[in-house]
Amino acid sequence: MSFLSDMALNQGEIEVVYGALAEWCAQNRTALDSDDGRDAATVMLGLYKTGHETKDSILEAMRRVNGDD
């Protein structure tokens, strides 16, 4: 049960992660429900859970993950 509770998000947290994901997908011309979209969602959730708690922070971290900086 600990794993599931660690992964649970409240509505505000979902909106932050989803906002970052939607923007990333639009910038990368990737569908949310594509393999790349799902992979990005997984990475973004991990980024959120490790302290990147705003849309901009998540997107900046994604740029570093992808080597875009």
Q: What is the pLDDT of residues 1-36, one digit of tens each?
A: 455 456 688 999 999 999 999 999 999 999 999 999
Looking at residue 1, its pLDDT comes to 45
* CB contact set of 27 (below 8 Å; sequence gap of 6+): none
pLDDT at position 6, please?
63
What integer pLDDT is reported at residue 69 of this predicted model?
A: 62
Which pLDDT belongs to residue 68?
75
User: Cβ distance 32 to 22 under 8 Å?
Assistant: yes
pLDDT for 12: 93
